[in-house]
Structure 1
């Protein structure tokens, strides 16, 4: 029979002590690592290394970078970890030019602000200058220019702000492809219809329309034009129903009306 090796308690005690010592050392190293990590984090948060170094702004056309920075309240002394992104968004979005805002951190020391401005839907004229008008009816009086860019129609004779706002809200809904076809929009209210409009198009047609549901009704314009004979010119009516009236027919009606007046006299 094989004999089992007998280990005395004296031989085992040093090994147990050594194992306990190693375990205690590992625990000490772990706690010291945590301690120094916390100290490093606190030191970092209190140092200039945690302050915003760069503010990147994208999407702005009408507002300058400086204006957006001022609205945000951010400075190079702002701690990047103490950003209140919701408050920054609300402050910038309070500007009537701004449609939406996104704020994000880009480590180590950059804050990125992406804004979407309301689109320019037209121009108004005043003292030989053209002023952009946004989709909410805001006129940018600080952005006057001597010429319009041709990227949006002129809004003429809108003497009441309420109707200008209604008009711009409709233009905001229009596809850019149709908006760029419009050269001038005149507000021509009557006693029966204060929403009446007359449009001059870049392709030579005129449009008789109304502010009410303008975007929806104007959406058929390209389809109507595509069905007309080449060289046709006239007025496209989009008020009640949609139909085309050639300039020759229109002139005939005017002449007929004048003849009737002469007969009456």
Structure 2
């Protein structure tokens, strides 16, 4: 060539050999990497590292840890890769106490189950026992306790059936701030109204009511109480209108109360 340098075939051969050797080395390194990765995976799957070692359960109050674990089907020794989180969550949520369950896996071998339980709406009194009634309406026959509940109303003289179902449905509709003021609710039927109830409030008042309009009447309770002297206890009747009658004989005239107006 006139303007270029002519490279002989003898000079090019060493460069070609070097390039081919580099490519071969890269292939060898890649194959070795894949081989050892495969070996490590086989060792991992055969070793205790791939098996569940720790199960952490959070958020349970009513349901026992052992019951949740049994329902999940996960045990120590379960292959961590065979855990289907969605299926496991669905199994746990079949427990009557559980509203939601969330299963997560932390490698190498820890499973965490976070629970949200249904709120205890009330307790059904049966002799010396108290049976929890959940916010989904479920009556937990296996959750009975002899400790007097302090965080939810106690239902007294109720039997399973239409009246109790109506009572639970009504409580579910009450605002939390009103529900928390109720100590006990007694089924107190009359000849003309089998849905009649008597409430004992935490502030010392009694309330006569009927389940036929209980929710719509009871939402006015804060407004009714604001019209009364806290030191003068008595009975508030909200069956039809809203009336107050003090306990003491000399103060026992009925006083008509105004319900909070709705805009």
How many Å separate the matches in 2 of 1:170 and 1:42?
A: 59
User: Where do 1:36-55 residues align within 5 Å?
Assistant: 36-55=36-55
User: Where do 1:16-165 residues align within 5 Å?
Assistant: 16-135=16-135, 136-145=137-146, 147-165=147-165
How many Å separate the matches in 2 of 1:100 and 1:173?
A: 21
Matched, 1:13 2:13: yes
Kindly state the Cα deviation for residue 237 of structure 1 after the two structures are TM-superposed: 4.0
Deviations 1:220-257 (A, max 9, x none): 3223212334434333344556x34233799557xxxx
Kindly state the Cα deviation for residue 153 of structure 1 after the two structures are TM-superposed: 1.6
How many Å separate the matches in 1 of 2:46 and 2:216?
A: 58
How many Å separate the matches in 2 of 1:214 and 1:39?
A: 70
Kindly state the Cα deviation for residue 206 of structure 1 after the two structures are TM-superposed: 1.8
How many Å separate the matches in 2 of 1:12 and 1:236?
A: 108
How many Å separate the matches in 2 of 1:42 and 1:219?
A: 65
How many Å separate the matches in 1 of 2:117 and 2:169?
A: 15
What do you get for the CA RMSD once the two structures are aligned?
Answer: 2.7
Aligned residues: 250
Match of 2:245 in 1: 246
Q: 1:70 to 1:206 in 2, by over 3 A?
A: same
- On the 8 A contact 1:173/1:215 being kept in 2, the answer is yes
> TM-score, with normalisation over the residues of structure 2?
0.82
Q: Secondary structure at the match of 2:223?
A: helix
- 4+ residue runs over 6 A deviation: none
Q: Secondary structure at the match of 1:149?
A: coil
- On the 8 A contact 2:131/2:140 being kept in 1, the answer is yes
Q: 1:107 to 1:180 in 2, by over 3 A?
A: same
Q: Please list every run of 5 or more consecutive structure 2 residues that lacks an aligned counterpart in the other structure.
A: 255-263
How many Å separate the matches in 1 of 2:232 and 2:246?
A: 9
Match of 1:220 in 2: 220
- On the 8 A contact 1:232/1:246 being kept in 2, the answer is no
How many Å separate the matches in 1 of 2:88 and 2:97?
A: 16
Q: Secondary structure at the match of 2:102?
A: strand
How many Å separate the matches in 2 of 1:202 and 1:151?
A: 11
Between stretches 23-32 and 160-169, larger displacement belongs to: 160-169
Q: Which has the higher helix share?
A: 1
